[in-house]
Structure 1
């Protein structure tokens, strides 16, 4: 069980960090403590830790100046994988993010950066943290089983059973089309495929949808992605014997468009869009200090 009534928690993605202080009385975020900062995840380790520190320090500072008052002795962090969550060591490489952190003991570096040597830091897979937070927010905890997927700079997957915490399913590198699923389900697939087919280079999916919304290739791009996604849903559903999914991440925001592009393929599944975005992962990250979390 946790000893503190308040926990500092963060969701670290490929391009950002979002942090806040969570009250364990009702597992809610204290609004004044929310902080978001961009992360140059392709840069050196020092730059990355500085970006993380900026957000975390802001949350701590705002907490000291807000109500209610309390002490922070724990930090829960939702991180993408591959990552050793028990030891706090990153093994991400060749994914376009955090290569410079490979093999580094992140726990000690964070304690030094925040100047809080007594701070207890635990890590959780970002997809598992996301699913944990969304289940209770959307009141899906009355069901027996729910699966979660995060779609963005990487592919995250998690499973949840009633009475248990969400667990990382780690399906990002499952074989698919001569490669792995992640190669076909991330932002990189959208940008590289769009450039290959049109000759137009875009920085991300948002730019494609906003600046190229009238391009004749866009419907085909969305339809092809929807086929990859439904292939993954079928694979995940068969593995876990569950057809109920919560989908988040930046690509998860366009689920209605993807369903419209291929309604029949999505029909076997119950899909729930994220309601909290990064906040779900923050709440989920804060719960890792609880021995049980069955509400």
Structure 2
């Protein structure tokens, strides 16, 4: 059996057919989508990408990893004031996609992208069933999910107070880019570009120290922390500061940077079709 798995981000959509027996992704494709576009344009792009993939394996079962806030059971988007998807606020994305794809809305499942990210790593065998793990996605936003023996739940770290505002404003690509520019650096558009700059070390070390301060206060009771998202790829630049800050606070975790990347999110979305419950709104 194959599931059409979808990962929706702040600037892209990725779709792949997931073989549920081999637990592998086949024929994945990624397309840039301007999340600041009108609702109709965004939904048309998403539907077209999903349809192209579904046609390759006659797939009518669709599972979508979506950032929050989002009502995952009903399919209504609650994202606003995050410089993405403002036009989709209050829109029933499930119904809108079902209409465009000409399928029953019940064939489309949604879950939080961070939850899918962590579930996918368990689904792929990256962790033992008895391991408690915190998954953090570091990219256009700050996603978080914890898995214990009782299942998955979101600690909603993104909206917790930190610094002068909330955690999402500090542990996302926009903070890194703004902080670098504020120090007299160039105005860059991506963390990947920032990581190539020889004078970016101070910004990444500050990012790591800030994250250590946040996690020291949050104090998750887990064995390991799984990092994903574009910022995680720069772990060599901020990891030392992160681990040193946690050690100074008496906190010790095993850190693992995702080797699956986006495939982990797609696998986790597809695994919704098995026995896992739908996650929280963020």
* TM-score (structure 1 length as normaliser): 0.86
Q: State how far apart, in whole Å, the 2-side matches of 1:250 and 1:75 are.
A: 25
Structure 1 unaligned regions, length at least 5 = 65-71
Over 3 Å counting, the alpha-carbon distance change for 1:20 and 1:165 in structure 2 is: farther
Over 3 Å counting, the alpha-carbon distance change for 1:265 and 1:118 in structure 2 is: closer
Over 3 Å counting, the alpha-carbon distance change for 1:127 and 1:102 in structure 2 is: same
Paired residues of 2:77 and 2:89 also in contact (CA < 8 A):
yes
Q: State how far apart, in whole Å, the 1-side matches of 2:117 and 2:125 are.
A: 12
Q: State how far apart, in whole Å, the 2-side matches of 1:42 and 1:292 are.
A: 32
- 1:77-88 superposed matches below 5 A: 77-88=64-75
RMSD in angstroms over aligned alpha carbons?
1.9
| Residue aligning to 1:227 | 209
Give the length in aligned residue pairs: 273
Q: State how far apart, in whole Å, the 1-side matches of 2:60 and 2:56 are.
A: 16
Q: State how far apart, in whole Å, the 2-side matches of 1:231 and 1:138 are.
A: 31
Paired residues of 2:123 and 2:267 also in contact (CA < 8 A):
no
* TM-score (structure 2 length as normaliser): 0.90
- 1:193-208 superposed matches below 5 A: 193-198=179-184, 200-208=186-194
Does structure 1 residue 122 correspond to structure 2 residue 109? Answer: yes
The residue matched to 1:166 in structure 2 has which SS?
Answer: strand
Paired residues of 1:219 and 1:261 also in contact (CA < 8 A):
no
| Residue aligning to 1:75 | 62
| Residue aligning to 1:276 | 260
Paired residues of 2:213 and 2:246 also in contact (CA < 8 A):
no
Deviation at 1:266, TM superposition (A): 4.8
| Residue aligning to 2:228 | 248
The residue matched to 1:172 in structure 2 has which SS?
Answer: helix
Deviation at 1:59, TM superposition (A): 1.0
Paired residues of 1:75 and 1:119 also in contact (CA < 8 A):
no
